Amino acid sequence: MNQPNLTFFCELENGPLQKLFADEGLIEKLKKLNARISLGLLDFSPERVDVVKQLNKAGIPVIAWLLLPKEQGYWLNLDNAPQAAILYGQFKNWSSKNKLKWAGIGLDIEPDIRALSMINKNRPKLIKQAFTKLINPSQHQKAFVDYRSLVTQIRCDGYAVESYQIPIIVDERKAGSTFIQHSTGLVDLSVDREVLMLYTSILRGNGLGMLWSYAREAQAIGVGSTGGGVVIEGVDNPQPLYWQELKRDLLLAFQHTDWIYIFSLEGCVLQGFLDSLIGFDWYQTVSLPIRSSQRVARVRMLSQGFLWLTARPWWLYAFIFGIIWFARSRKKCC
C-alpha cells in the first residue's frame, strides 16, 4: 500500500540543532520513515555543516530552506528580493566549499517578520504600510521579476525548487489579483512543488475546515505545528498539536496528496511522535470536517469575489455609479 512522502521542517539554532541530531536513534527513525528534512538555514556555520553532512552520510534527503536574518525580514517576500538573491549566492558558495548535498531548495514566502511583530503593538502603522504599498504597486514590479529569475537560476544550478505558501495565495490566483501580494509582500511563484501551510494549530476553531477546503487544491500540504518555530516579538506561538490532532490532520491531508510536510521535527521529537509514525496506519478512518469546511468555503467565496474586484475595479465603479443613478431616479419619480 502507498505511503506518503514525509518531510519534517527543522528550524533550530546551532546549539539545539546539534543536540537534536546527537541522538543516533533519531537518524534511524527518520530512515525507517523514509523521511526528508527541510532544514532552516539560520546561518552558514560549521555546526550546521556537520549536521548536513551527518544527514548526507545517512542517506536522508535534505532541503535547503533559505531564511534571511530577521533584520532583512526573515522570510522571503517582495520587499527583500535583492537580499534573497545575495543569500542564494552565499548558500551556493558555502555548499560548494563544504561539499554539501541537497535534495532541493525551499523558498518560504511570508510577510516580513518585522511587520508581523506590529500586529498587536502597532496595528495602525502596519495598516499604513500595507496601504502605501497598495497605492505604489510599481515598487514591486521588479521584485516579481527578480524572484522568478531566482527560481530559474536555482533550477539551472540543478536544484528542484519548492515554495512554502500561505493558502490565501490560491484564492488570489483564482481571482487573477495581486492585491494580497502587493499589500503583504507575498509572491506567487511557479515552482516544482508548492506546499500550502495548513496549520490547524493557528486557527483551532476553523483550522480543520481550512485544511479540508484547501487540501483538494494543494500539490503538497504542511501540517502542524507540533511545537518550536521562530519567535515573533509581540505574538504568542499557538499551542502545539497533541497526537490525536496531528494524527487527524495527517489522515485528512493524505486523502488529497502523497506529499506531506510536518512542522516541526523538534516538536515531534519532544512529544514522542516519531515512534507513533513508524508503522502508522494511513488508511484508517477519519471524520471529515464537513460543516467547518463549508464555513471556510463561504468565506473563501467572498474573499475571491473581493479579490476579483480589486483586479477589475471598473466593475466596482460601475456598481457604485449604478446605485447612485438608481437612487436619483427613484427620487425624481417620487
> Hey, what's the cell of 39?
532544514
pTM score, two decimals?
Answer: 0.92
- pLDDT at res. 290: 92
- pLDDT at res. 166: 97
- pLDDT at res. 244: 97
198-241 residue pLDDT tens: 999 988 778 999 999 999 999 999 999 999 988 877 777 789 99
Tell me the C-alpha distance between 298 and 177, whole Å: 19
- pLDDT at res. 332: 59
237-288 residue pLDDT tens: 789 999 999 999 999 999 999 999 999 999 999 999 999 999 999 999 999 9
% of the chain exceeding 90 in pLDDT: 78
- pLDDT at res. 194: 98
64-91 residue pLDDT tens: 999 999 999 999 999 999 999 999 999 9
Mean pLDDT for all residues in the chain: 91
> Hey, what's the cell of 36?
526528508
In angstroms, how far is CA 36 from the centroid of its own chain?
A: 17
Using DSSP's 3-state secondary structure scheme, residue 42 falls into coil
Contacts of 325 (CB under 8 A, 6+ apart): none
Asked whether 222 and 199 are in contact (CB, 8 A), the reply is yes
Q: Where are the alpha helices (DSSP H) in the chain?
A: 14-21, 24-32, 46-58, 81-98, 113-116, 118-121, 123-135, 141-156, 168-175, 179-184, 207-215, 243-254, 265-271, 273-277, 290-311, 313-333
- pLDDT at res. 119: 66
- pLDDT at res. 232: 79
23-78 residue pLDDT tens: 989 999 999 999 999 999 999 999 999 999 999 999 999 999 999 999 999 999 99
Average pLDDT of span 280-308: 95
% of the chain exceeding 70 in pLDDT: 87
Assign 315 a pLDDT band (cuts: 50, 70, 90).
low
Tell me the C-alpha distance between 265 and 221, whole Å: 16
Contacts of 334 (CB under 8 A, 6+ apart): none
CATH number of 5-333: 3.20.20
Q: DSSP code of 231?
A: P
CA dihedral of residues 244, 249, 252, 257 (deg, nearest 10): -140
133-164 residue pLDDT tens: 766 777 788 999 999 999 999 999 999 999 99
- pLDDT at res. 236: 73
- pLDDT at res. 124: 73
In angstroms, how far is CA 188 from the centroid of its own chain?
A: 12
